[in-house]
Amino acid sequence: MTEIEIEPEVSNIFSTNNTALYQCDRSESFILKFFEEHISFKIGELQAIRKKIRNIDLAQLFKSGTPDIEILNVPQCDRIFVLSILEILELKELFSGAFVMLELNSVIHREILRK
pLDDT, tens digit (0-9, with 9 covering 90-100), for 62-88? 887 778 889 998 776 778 889 999 999
The pLDDT score that the predictor gives to residue 91 is 96
Residues above pLDDT 70, as percent of the chain: 90
DSSP assignment of the chain: --B-PPPTT-EEEEE-SSEEEEEETTTTEEEEEETTEEEEE-HHHHHHHHHHHHT--HHHHHHSSS-SEEEEE-TTSS-EEEEEHHHHHHHHHHHHHHHHHHHHHHHHHHHHHH-
**pLDDT band, residue 5 (cuts 50/70/90):** low
Query: Does 1 score more than 70 pLDDT?
Result: no
Q: Domains of the chain: which residue ranges?
A: 11-114
pLDDT for the residue numbered 8: 60
What pLDDT was estimated at residue 7?
58
